[in-house]
Chain A
C-alpha cells in the first residue's frame, strides 16, 4: 500500500507486518505514529555560545547560562550540550557573590548552580573552535565532551549572544565571525548530514543580520533585534553593579520556565516572545528555509530531549512472526548506488587546466607524415620541377 511508502521511517517494518490486519485499527495506529514521529528527529543537541568576556559583559554569560539551564531542565544531557563561555564571571575578583551568576535581581536565581559543565572556557572560545565544533573537523585528540557528535536525525539548537553588528558577531574582543561564514558552516553541516533540523537563536545588537545569508534547508532562525537596532539589557543589580540579563533572553527565559517536557507549545508562541513594548527592539525570525510549518514544531523539539513513550492498554495481536527483512544477495542484482561526497576542492581539475579528451584522435605526427607522403607522391608523379614552385 502506498501509505507505507509515505512514511519512509524505521517504523516501516512494524507497519509492514501490520498491514495484513484490520485496516481501521491500522489507520488509528498510523495517525498516532504520525504524531509520534512528525518531527523526524531522534536526538537533540545544543550549542550555546557566549562570545564576550570581562566583568561588564556579565549579562551575556547570564543569558547563555539561563538557556543552558532551561535546556538541561527539559532533558538534554550535558553530553549533548556544547557550552562555550568565557567563564570569568563567577570567580571574578569583582563579584561580590563569588561562585554565582545571577539572572534576576535581588539574587533570586543563580544560573551558575553547582552542575554547570563548561566545554570551551576562557580563551578557547574562538571563531575557529566554534566552526570546528559545528562542522566536526576537530583533531582526533579532542575529547568527546567538546565534540558535536550529531547525525542526520539530530535537532540542534544553536544560541549565540554577545556584541554584534551588521553582519558580524564579535568574539572575545579580538576577532569576528561574519554571517557569510556562519551560513557556509551550516551548509557544510547540511552536506555532511550533521543535522535534521536546526534552530538558530541570536541575542545581540542587529542580530537579524546574522541569519540573512542562510541558504541551507531546515533552518529556523530567531533574532532579538533587526538591522539598525540595538538589543537592550534588562535590569541592573545594584549590589553586584552590572546589568544581569538582556531583555530578549530574559523574556525568553520566562517563557521557557512554563515549558515542561510534555508541553505542546509550538514555535509560533516563541516568535511572540518579547514584543516591541517589552524589548524596545523588534525581534525577528526566519522560517522560509524550514520545511515544516512552524505551528507544528514543538518547543520541546529543540529545547528538550523528549523520549517518546506511548503507553497502550489495548492488546495488539501479533499472529505472524515478524519477518526479517531479506538480506541483499551477495552477488547483488540490485546495484545500490554508492554515494560519495562532492569533491569540495577539485584540485586535479584546477591544476590540469586542459580538460581530459574523451575520444581518441590519431597522434599528430601520424597526420604530418601522411601529408608529407601525399605531397611526395604528387611531385613524383607530376615531375620534380613543380617542387621548386613550392620551396
Chain B
C-alpha cells in the first residue's frame, strides 16, 4: 500500500509530524535566516555580465568635450532659479530651443491629503519642461529619456547644466536611432508622476495636469541625473523603485561596465566594493550593502526620480554624483562621456531590455543574487506556517477525549464557525478603520488637539493601531450564540489565520521579496507559537514587539545604523513618525502599496493572533 493510503503508515507519519513539529519549525527558521545571511557571501553570488547581445560591450568612442560649458550653464540656471523663485520655465524653454530641441511644457497641480513636513509642501503647483531631440533618420517610434530634477536651493544645478550640455552635443550626432527626451521636472516625484501620466494617457492618482503637446514614441530606457557639485569623487547608482520594483539588471551592468572603462569610482548604496570577501569585515560590508538594498526595497518608496518609470515597464535608474573626501576627483566632462557611452549603447537596442534578471539582490555592484537563489530563504520560513497548519488540522480531526451526545455536536460546529467569523470580521473592520480614518478625521483631530495635520494623521493611525489591542476583551460580548465558545474554536481560528498569513506573505514576497521576508521574519514565529495556553503577559509583550508597527520602528533604527548615521531615541521616534506619514502620502500620491497592505491585510492578520492569545 502507498505511503499515504496505508492507515498504519499514515498514523505513523502523523504522529511523527506532531511530535517533531516544533523542532522542525525551529530548524527551518534558523535555516531560512542563515540562508539569507549567506546570500552576501561572495562564492555564493554570481558576477554580473551583459546579457543583451545588441548592447554588446563598451566599445564606443566617447567624445563629449564640453564639461566646463555645461557647468557654466548650470550656474546660469541657478541664478535664474533664484531670480524666479522656482523653476525658470522661460529661460529653460529658450535655452533648449537654442540647442535645436523641440520644447514643450506641462503644468500640473495637486493638493496633498495632508501637508508633507519633510518637503514642506501642501498645495503643489508646478511646470515640467522637456525637449525632444528627434532622431535624424529614424521613425519616431522609440525614445530614451534623460532627466534632471529642478530642486529648490542649490541642489542639482550642475545636473541641469550637464543635461543641457549633453543635449547640445547629442544634437550634432547623426547616429541616433531613437528620439531622446531631455526632461527637467519640478517638485521631483510629483512632477515626474504628472509627466508620466500625461505621456501614457493614464490618470491613476487624481492629479490634474495639462496634456502633453509633444511625444516621442514608446520609452525604452530612462536615466535620472542628480549632481550637485562641480567635481565628484564617485557615482552612486540607485535602483529601487516604487513598490520595490527594480529595473532590469542589464542597466546596472551597463553602468558598471562603463564605470570600469572610463575609470570612475562607482558605488551602490553609497558603499564602495571591497575585494576581501573572505575576511569578516569584507563579509559584513557585503551584508550591510545587501541589507541596505533590502530595507530600501521593503519600504516600497521610489528612491529616485527613476522609481516611477518602472511601473510603465521602462527600465530606469538614478545616477547620483557624490563629492566626498577622496583624493581623485572626476570632472563634468568625464561624467558627460560616461552618459554619452551609456546612451550610445542604449541606442543600439532593438527591443526593450528583457534578457537579464528583473528580480535580484546586489551585495555589491559587480555581484548579484537572482530570485532562484534568494527565494528558498523565504520558502523555508513559509514551510513553518504550513507545518503548523498541518499540525492544527491533525489536532482538529482527532476526536476530543470527552464525548458529547450527538445533539450538542451540531451546535458545537455552528458555535465554532460563528465564533471564528466574529474575530475575522472585526479585525478586518479595524484594518479598514486604520486605512481610512486617519486622513478623514484629521480636521476633527486638529480642532480638538494642539497638533498639526501631519501629526494628527500619524497619531490617529497609531491610536487606532493601539485600540485594536483592546479588542479581544470586548469581542466576546458579541458572540451571538451561547456564551460558551468551544475549546476547539481557537484552533479553527488559528488554522485560518496561519493559512491566511502564508498566502499573504507568499504573494508579497513574489512582488516585493524584501517586504515579504522582513514581515515573515517577525510574523512567522509569532504565528507558530501563539496559543491561549502560553503565559499571557509575556506573550502579549512579545506579540507587541513582533507586530508590524514595532518591526517598522526597529527597521528605522537599523536603517540609520546601516547608513552609519545612528540616531538617538528621540530623533528616531520623530523619524518613525515621518516614515509613517511618508508611507501614507506615497500611497495617495504615487500608488504605493505598502501602506494599504499593512493596514488592510497584515494588521488584521496580526490582530487575529492577538485574539487567539486572549481566547476564552
Residue numbers of A with Cβ under 8 A of B are: 54-56, 91-96, 98, 236, 238-239, 241-243
Contact = CB atoms under 8 A, between A and B. Distances in A.
A130 B61 CA distance: 38
Contacts of A96: 173-175
B60 A238 contact: yes
Interface string B56-98: 1101110000000000000000000000000000000000000
**Which one of A56, A91, A92, A95 has the greatest number of beta carbons of chain B within 10 Å?**
A56
B138 interface: yes
Most chain A CB within a 10 A radius of its CB, from B61, B138, B344: B61
Contacts of B53: 56
B460 to A, nearest CB: 57
A243 B173 CA distance: 20
Nearest to B62: A238
27 contacts: A54-B54, A55-B350, A56-B53, A56-B54, A56-B56, A56-B348, A91-B137, A93-B135, A93-B136, A93-B137, A93-B175, A93-B176, A93-B177, A94-B177, A94-B347, A94-B348, A95-B175, A236-B57, A238-B59, A238-B61, A239-B61, A241-B59, A241-B60, A241-B61, A241-B175, A241-B344, A242-B56
A236 B58 CA distance: 10
Nearest to B139: A93
Contacts of B350: 54-55
A191 B174 CA distance: 52
B52 to A, nearest CB: 10
Contacts of B176: 93
Contacts of A92: 177
B447 to A, nearest CB: 63
Contacts of B135: 93
Contact of A93 (B54, B59, B61, B138): B138
A245 to B, nearest CB: 14
Contacts of B174: 96, 98
Interface string B342-386: 001001101000000000000000000000000000000000000
Contacts of A54: 54, 350
A129 B342 CA distance: 39
B348 to A, nearest CB: 6
Task: In the A-B complex, list the 10 residue pairs whose CB atoms are closest, starting with the nearest.
Answer: A238-B61, A93-B177, A93-B138, A236-B59, A96-B175, A241-B60, A93-B137, A94-B177, A56-B54, A239-B61
Given A54-B350, A98-B174, A242-B59, 16 more contacts: A54-B54, A55-B54, A56-B53, A92-B177, A93-B176, A94-B175, A94-B177, A94-B347, A94-B348, A95-B175, A96-B175, A236-B59, A239-B61, A241-B56, A241-B60, A241-B344
B348 A55 contact: yes
Contacts of A98: 137, 174
A36 B55 CA distance: 53
B131 to A, nearest CB: 20
Interface residues of B, number: 20
Nearest to B177: A93
B110 to A, nearest CB: 39
Contacts of B177: 92-94
B63 to A, nearest CB: 9
Nearest to B350: A54
A54 B59 CA distance: 17
Nearest to B52: A56
B607 to A, nearest CB: 56
A200 to B, nearest CB: 28
Contacts of A236: 57, 59
Q: Which of A98, A238, A241 has the most CB of B within 10 A?
A: A241
Interface string B236-271: 000000000000000000000000000000000000
A82 to B, nearest CB: 28
A144 to B, nearest CB: 33
Interface string B386-412: 000000000000000000000000000
A96 B348 CA distance: 12
B250 to A, nearest CB: 14
A55 B138 CA distance: 14
B363 to A, nearest CB: 31
A93 to B, nearest CB: 4
Contacts of A95: 175
B425 to A, nearest CB: 57
B228 to A, nearest CB: 32
B444 to A, nearest CB: 61
A98 B57 CA distance: 22
B82 to A, nearest CB: 40
A171 B57 CA distance: 24
A241 B177 CA distance: 14
A54 B350 CA distance: 8
Nearest to A242: B56
Contacts of B54: 54-56
A238 B135 CA distance: 21
A187 to B, nearest CB: 35
Contacts of B173: 96
Most A Cβ at <10 Å: residue of B59, B174, B177: B59
Nearest to A55: B348
A178 to B, nearest CB: 23
B348 A241 contact: yes
Nearest to A56: B54
Nearest to B136: A93
Contacts of B59: 236, 238, 241-243
B261 to A, nearest CB: 11
Nearest to A92: B177
Contacts of B60: 238, 241
Contacts of A241: 56, 59-61, 175, 344, 348
Nearest to A236: B59
Interface string B538-573: 000000000000000000000000000000000000
B25 to A, nearest CB: 50
Contacts of B175: 93-96, 241
B353 to A, nearest CB: 15
A93 B177 CA distance: 5
A226 B347 CA distance: 35
Interface string B591-614: 000000000000000000000000
B59 to A, nearest CB: 4
Interface string B145-177: 000000000000000000000000000011111
Contacts of A55: 54, 348, 350
Interface string B22-62: 00000000000000000000000000000001101101110
A167 B177 CA distance: 36
Contacts of B347: 94
B315 to A, nearest CB: 19
A246 B348 CA distance: 20
Contacts of B344: 241
Nearest to A235: B59
A310 to B, nearest CB: 52
Contacts of B57: 236
A54 B54 CA distance: 9
Contacts of A94: 175, 177, 347-348
Nearest to B344: A241
A326 to B, nearest CB: 68
- Most chain A beta-carbon contacts within 10 A, residue among B135, B176, B348: B348
B171 to A, nearest CB: 14
Most buried by B among A55, A56, A93, A239: A93
A93 B56 CA distance: 17
A254 B60 CA distance: 26
Interface in B98-142: 135-138
A239 B61 CA distance: 5
Contacts of B138: 93
Contacts of A56: 53-54, 56, 348
Contacts of A93: 135-138, 175-177
Most A CB within 10 A of own CB, among B53, B60, B135: B60
B275 to A, nearest CB: 29
B56 to A, nearest CB: 6
